[in-house]
Copies of this chain bind each other. A is one copy, B any other.
Amino acid sequence: MILDKVNSPQDLKFLSPEELLELSAELRSEIVRVTAQNGGHLASSLGAVELIVALHKVYDSPRDRILFDVGHQAYAHKLLTGRKDVFHTIRQEGGISGFTKVSENQHDAITVGHASTSLANALGMAIARDTLGEDYGVVAVIGDGAFTGGMALAALNVIGGQKRKMLMVLNDNEMSISENVGALGRYFKEYQTNKWVQDTQKWGKNVLEGISPRLFNLVDRAKEAAKLMLHQENPFYAWGVRYVGPVDGHNLPELIHTLERLKELDGPTVLHIVTKKGKGYGVAEEDPIYWHGPPGFNPEKPEKVSKGYSWSAAFGDAITELAAQEPRLFVITPAMREGSGLVKYSQTYPERYLDTGICEDVAATTAAGMGLRGLKPVLAIYSTFMQRAYDQIIHDIAIENVPVIFAVDRAGIVGSDGATHNGVFDIAYLRTVPNVQIAAPKDALELRGMLKKALELGGPIALRYARDSVEKVPEGTWPEIDWAKWEVLKEGSIAYILAFGKTLKYALEAARDNPQVGVINARFIKPLDKEMLEKLALEGYKIVTVEDHQEMGGFGSAVLEALNQMNLKADLRVLGLPDVFYDHGAIPRMHAEAGIDAAAIQRALAELGVGFSLVRD
């Protein structure tokens, strides 16, 4: 094994071209082997193997900084940077992260998980380097999907104006998680099918040989030379950055050859490479959407497995049925069709479906425009990504009380994706915004009822649910929801637990067989059910609130506010996530550590004097 000899990127410097090719194959095998065990981001990591080998061959990490946009394609990078021995722990409890993470390893230039941030980060680093009089390379690797995000485009605009020395590798694999959409998507596809790319071997040789005397001798002339390579409608040139490409991203010698030369150039350069997601692993090449982030599989006999019935699927089923009843319903997703359960909907109602690509802000404001003109837009979005549409929710939606339903998926701690993906701020940042209502269904049935009711009510309404499985319910079932009213699930004689969504099961577990302790499905977070809350406080019940969300600013905080407003003092414990970021790991362990599981609820009840031996006075 060549990989056995590689303990840091420096070890690549001494490998022959043949050994580097062999190393690439070994990296691919190892990625498949471990992903088969752990699940993980398979297809994109397979597509980036040669690029990563070439980058580490040509650049000197950690001196040079290599930034991976999104960071989930960097498995080969992890294997080459001293983490091969722990690579089998990726995304596992106590193991290494599935993304690059600054605090994990000196070779990880950014901590990441959300798309389109690498260019601005790289610009900041290049400015820091120049300002401090230092000298190192800054390379951002960004996919074509992430590239359509507004942040990347706007950053490119600033980069074109700043003219700092930096390389941006546009890894064009013709697909983000969902299909790539919009004009740039078409533009990239054009490249995929033009004859240059179809014969990259020949093209690469001829063109690079042809330009090298001019391109690499003098920067000013290089610009002129690069122009010759341009497709006439190439957008990069207009941005004021040098453009080189497209280059076959799986041709390792070609990549190394190109990078070695580009490394010397001053100013900002985009290197456009073309790769195939899932490269080298048949099933992943054929269906890179499923194999983007599969759960564990048999590497010898890879088969798709049904992921169980998720909240996302429950939402997808419900919204597809509702669309039949409500012709004004329109669903928007920022590049999360599969993750949000929208495959069936998008096929059934393609004319009432919009995938904006990775630009959550645009998705939200497009929904605003629709809502202002008579549609009933539903924005399917992950809690963590909704953070990117915060101003748009306030400015374009809430101020005029525009009817937009937010189907907020992946709320709470998400497990293996870690800190960048936890959906643990949404209640705090949404509830402070006037006109916004927030609810959290306890099951698929309640989700259906809430969705239907929300369509009738209008205004901005967020429905929050977890990354989790849920029991499937029959088509056509639409329970009537008593809006803004909580629901007593279990009576208690001394105390009540207020929980919603994922923590309800902990509450029921904590209260089981204990007649003193009641459980309330506090499904409406804004507005709160103040009437019920007042009753509980006036009647002297002890209260424990519990939520899979930051304690600061969350539901418990809202309860404290409401009680204070009503001038009521209750014996109350607020359980939520403490003021830290949670890395990836097992959700039950994190919930226990955070103190929001059944045991923690029982401890809180005990602190309030509730125990099995107590009787209410």
Distance from A603 Cβ to chain B, minimum over Cβ atoms (Å)? 14
Q: Are B148 and A117 within 8 A (Cβ)?
A: no
Give the contact stretch, choosing among A182-190, A195-203, A500-508. A182-190
Protomer copies = 2
CA distance A375 to B234 in the complex (A): 35
Contact with A124, one of B153, B377, B564, B580 (Cβ below 8 angstroms)? B377
Determine chain A's interface SS by DSSP, over half rule.
helix
- The interface bits of chain A over 359-401 (1 if a CB of B lies within 8 angstroms of the residue's CB, else 0) are 1011011111111111101000000110110111011101110
Q: Are A127 and B234 within 8 A (Cβ)?
A: no
- A246 CB within 8 Å of chain B: no
Q: Are A391 and B392 within 8 A (Cβ)?
A: no
CA distance A561 to B434 in the complex (A): 21
Q: Are B399 and A419 within 8 A (Cβ)?
A: yes
Contacts of A569 in B (CB 8 A): 569
Contacts of A124 in B (CB 8 A): 365-373, 375, 377
Q: Are A370 and B125 within 8 A (Cβ)?
A: yes
Contacts of A359 in B (CB 8 A): 150-151, 154-155, 157-158
Contacts of A390 in B (CB 8 A): 387-388, 390-391, 429
- A407 CB within 8 Å of chain B: no
- A20 CB within 8 Å of chain B: no
Give the contact stretch, choosing among A237-245, A280-288, A312-320. A237-245
Residues 541-588 of A at the B interface (beta carbon under 8 Å): 550-554, 556-558, 560-561, 564-565, 569, 572-574, 579-581
Q: Are B151 and A361 within 8 A (Cβ)?
A: yes
Residues 418-474 of A at the B interface (beta carbon under 8 Å): 419-420, 425, 428-429, 431-435
- A121 CB within 8 Å of chain B: yes
Known: A158-B362, A237-B233, A239-B183. A125 touches B399 (CB 8 A): no
Contacts of A432 in B (CB 8 A): 425, 428-429, 550, 552-554
The closest CB in chain B to the CB of A358 belongs to B154
CA distance A191 to B250 in the complex (A): 41
- A235 CB within 8 Å of chain B: yes
- A490 CB within 8 Å of chain B: no
- A149 CB within 8 Å of chain B: yes
CA distance A186 to B375 in the complex (A): 39
CA distance A120 to B396 in the complex (A): 10
The closest CB in chain B to the CB of A393 belongs to B387
CA distance A431 to B552 in the complex (A): 7
CA distance A162 to B390 in the complex (A): 24
Residues 123-142 of A at the B interface (beta carbon under 8 Å): 123-129, 131-132
Contacts of A128 in B (CB 8 A): 330, 369-370, 372-375
Between-chain CB contacts (< 8 Å), 8 pairs: A120-B364, A124-B366, A124-B367, A124-B377, A150-B154, A150-B359, A156-B183, A161-B186
Given contacts A124-B366, A552-B561, 15 further A-B contacts (CB under 8 A): A114-B391, A117-B365, A117-B392, A120-B369, A121-B369, A124-B369, A151-B392, A153-B157, A155-B359, A160-B183, A385-B391, A435-B581, A551-B561, A557-B561, A564-B573
